[in-house]
Amino acid sequence: MVLLLTNKLVVSMAALRFLAGLLELGGATLMLRLGKVESAFQVNAWLGIIGPTIFLLVSSLGLAGMVGHVSPLKIALLLCAIILILLSATL
């Protein structure tokens, strides 16, 4: 099966999401292998840092790809939405 990959930004966004998924699966496996609540908690803390970072990177790539196709008002609204999502995750 041949995939036709025409947009490098979409490929980059998908690759980051695949990486995030692999890191989550690896973290869950590590938690099971360590078998201690304290160790699992530490792994979870690292995963909690990685998740929002991937979200920001993927969102940044998406916004960069839409800059010429979407009005500045919509870009500003999307940026505000991303900021609100991050703020709600920290409160």
pLDDT in tens, 19-35: 999 999 999 999 999 99
Count other C-beta atoms under 10 Å from residue 55's C-beta. Answer: 17
Task: Decide: 34 and 41 in contact? Cβ < 8 Å.
Answer: no
Degrees, nearest 5: CA angle 58-65-49 = 15
Domain ranges, ordered by start, for the chain: 9-90
Task: Give the residue, 36 or 6, on which the prediction is more confident.
Answer: 36
Residue with tokens 């990177």: 57
Q: For the residues 7-16, what does the mean pLDDT come to?
A: 91
Which pTM does this prediction carry? 0.76
* pLDDT tens digits, one per residue of 57-77: 998 898 888 888 888 898 889
